Amino acid sequence: MLAVLAAACCWLAGASTVAAQDIAARPLDSNEMKWEWMFSPYAHHFRRSSEHRNVYLIGVERYQTENWLVGAGVFSNSFGQPSAYAYGGYQWSGLFGQPRLYLKLTAGVMYGYVGEHKDKVPFNRNGWSPLVVPAIGYRLDSRNSLQVSALGTAGLLFSYHYRP
């Protein structure tokens, strides 16, 4: 799986940057929609466990400026519990000189790891815990992108993002 991901990243990094500058590098203007919907059908866990369930996420982000954002998502966590994440963050576009490649860092509060799984995330108090999520993404065009988010030492979340 990691070999396929590495090959895909290499292919994406080598994609044409001429058209990409028109698509990804230009700032948002006031007439453009600044909302972004996200969906994740899969998370890869670094350590396999029979307890792990598929992770599904749906969320929305609003870009306040070209780079600053706020967002929220609901998801089923690795143990099948309903969970949520509300956050603020920043996105750096044009990573490594590639206009379509971006880095995103979000921080906020998560709810959802309760009961026997309360110790699976640090600083959890009654299901509430702080969360910081770094991510790297690739903008396919002006509306669609793919993103990989790091979930601490637990795994990676793969998501699709759409700007209406």
Task: Give the Å distances, CA to CA, from 74 to 12, 59, 125, 126, 143.
Answer: 29, 6, 19, 18, 22
State the Cα–Cα distance between residues 59 and 47, nearest whole angstrom. Answer: 26
State the Cα–Cα distance between residues 13 and 27, nearest whole angstrom. Answer: 21
**Alpha-carbon 21 to chain mean position:** 22
* Domains observed in the chain: 32-162 (2.40.160.20)
pLDDT tens track of the chain, all 164 residues? 444 444 444 444 444 344 444 455 455 555 565 899 999 999 999 988 888 888 999 999 999 888 999 999 999 999 999 999 999 999 999 999 999 999 999 999 999 999 999 999 999 999 999 999 999 999 999 999 999 999 988 999 999 999 99
Beta strands in 64-154 (DSSP E): 68-76, 82-93, 101-111, 128-139, 144-151
State the Cα–Cα distance between residues 106 and 70, nearest whole angstrom. Answer: 8
Task: Give the Å distances, CA to CA, from 152 to 3, 21, 148, 160.
Answer: 21, 32, 12, 20
Q: Specify the DSSP class assigned to residue 30.
A: T
Report pTM. Answer: 0.80
One-letter identity of residue 10: C
Which residues sit opposite 111 in a β-bridge?
84, 128
